[in-house]
Amino acid sequence: MARHGKASYAEKLSDGTRAVAGNREVPWNRIGVETDGAMTAEEALTMAQLDWRVKVSDEPVGVNIGGELLQVENKFITYREHPKQGTQALGVVGNRYTPIQNVEAFSFLNHLVDEAGAVFQSAVSLGNGEKVAIVMKFPETMMFANGTDGIDKYIIATNSHDGSSSFTVAVTPLRLICTNQIRMSVRNATAKIALKHTSGATSKVQQARETLGLVFKYQESFEKEVEKLLSIKYTDADYKAFVEKLIPEPKGNGVTERKINAVAQTRADLTNLWKAPTQQIVAGTAWAAYNAVAEYADWFKPVRGNEDKLVIRAEKSLSGNSSLKERAQLLLTA
């Protein structure tokens, strides 16, 4: 059984906050609305007050300068009419852009409830609604290390209203003991796909099947990658050498004392996490080394911004991307 109890340490993060592994909230729940009980995407969006509509301005983007209206040809503003927030701009798009309403975009997810037992967990709005995401959780937990290390499977479907990205669906594994995202690169499978904005029952079923295919294919390769890392024995000396490669000493004429101190702090944080309770059940393996890095990237790595640091981390979690985790995986499996 995976451990779900409160961790016995409260380590201070580099940004001054503290994180206790057993008390860590699933990241997207911190910035979104939990949608437990929603049976459809429409219900989830309504619960999170994300069932507003998006429109495109009739006139091009313009500004009044000295009494003269200057406009940018073929550039228009997308905006929403929110029942509580009023009218708000979302982005600037080209003249061919057609908004896809949230209810239309996410409706294919309803088929995952019937076909795979997935449940709606969270609905999230970023900024003023420029991007909206729905998170679904699959019922089965992947178990490793003789049934002691559990990883749940989620998918994050994201719709944008500012023209910055296509509609995407991404598989996002979450390790239970530390609430780390473990979206690794795996052979012969991808964790993320872009889906077309299409309508009609047939196309929605097809999108659901594409998503399930993505999840199952990725899971199979993901499990093999985890087992591989578990099979690689790792000593303290191995881990020290790994950290030094992962976080190299700064070189060149531009090296400052601040950079030197930052490297030393990062290495110290990674060394502490190697011995943290969250790695104890898989201690002495490359899997423990990877999870020490994942824990640092998700919970300890300094983040910029004046907002609540945990909120900023949660927003970053929706992308699931981390160059530090990717480099760690490459070094551990080289």
- Summarised one tens digit per residue, pLDDT across range 134-170 is 999 999 999 999 999 999 999 999 999 998 888 899 9
Does residue 126 sit within a domain? yes
- The pLDDT confidence band at residue 289, using thresholds 50, 70 and 90, is very high
CA distance linking residue 163 with residue 46, whole number of Å = 24
Least confident of 182-191, 201-210, 290-299, 306-315: 306-315
Does residue 2 sit within a domain? no
Strand partners, 149: 144
Do 202 and 275 belong together in one domain? no
pLDDT at 251 over 80: yes
Is residue 56 within 8 A of residue 99, CB to CB? The reply is yes
Nearest to 247 by CA among 280, 279, 272, 271: 271
Mean pLDDT in residue range 167-184: 92
pLDDT at 83 over 90: no
CA distance linking residue 236 with residue 62, whole number of Å = 61
Do 146 and 225 belong together in one domain? yes
Query: Domain end: 229, 252, 268, which one?
Result: 229
Tell me the residue range of the domain where 187 lies: 24-48+100-229
Do 149 and 292 belong together in one domain? no
CA distance linking residue 209 with residue 216, whole number of Å = 11
Cα angle for residues 28, 30, 35 (degrees, 5° grid): 65
Does residue 208 sit within a domain? yes
Q: What is the value of pTM for the model shown?
A: 0.85
CA distance linking residue 180 with residue 322, whole number of Å = 12
CA distance linking residue 103 with residue 46, whole number of Å = 9
Q: What is the pLDDT of residue 21?
A: 40
Does residue 19 sit within a domain? no
Does residue 312 sit within a domain? yes
Does residue 15 sit within a domain? no
Do 32 and 137 belong together in one domain? yes
Does residue 305 sit within a domain? yes
Q: Domain tally for the chain? A: 3
More confident residue, 40 or 20: 40
Do 58 and 133 belong together in one domain? no
Helix, strand, or coil here: 71? Answer: strand
Pairing of strands 62-65, 68-71: antiparallel
CA distance linking residue 140 with residue 132, whole number of Å = 26
Query: Domain end: 180, 205, 229, which one?
Result: 229
Do 148 and 31 belong together in one domain? yes
Do 209 and 121 belong together in one domain? yes
Do 175 and 130 belong together in one domain? yes
Do 105 and 216 belong together in one domain? yes
Do 215 and 119 belong together in one domain? yes
Does residue 8 sit within a domain? no
HSE-up of residue 101 (Cα within 13 Å, Cβ side):
13
Mean pLDDT in residue range 81-92: 90
Do 106 and 81 belong together in one domain? no
Query: Domain end: 200, 229, 258, which one?
Result: 229
Cβ atoms < 10 Å from Cβ of 78 = 21
Do 69 and 42 belong together in one domain? no
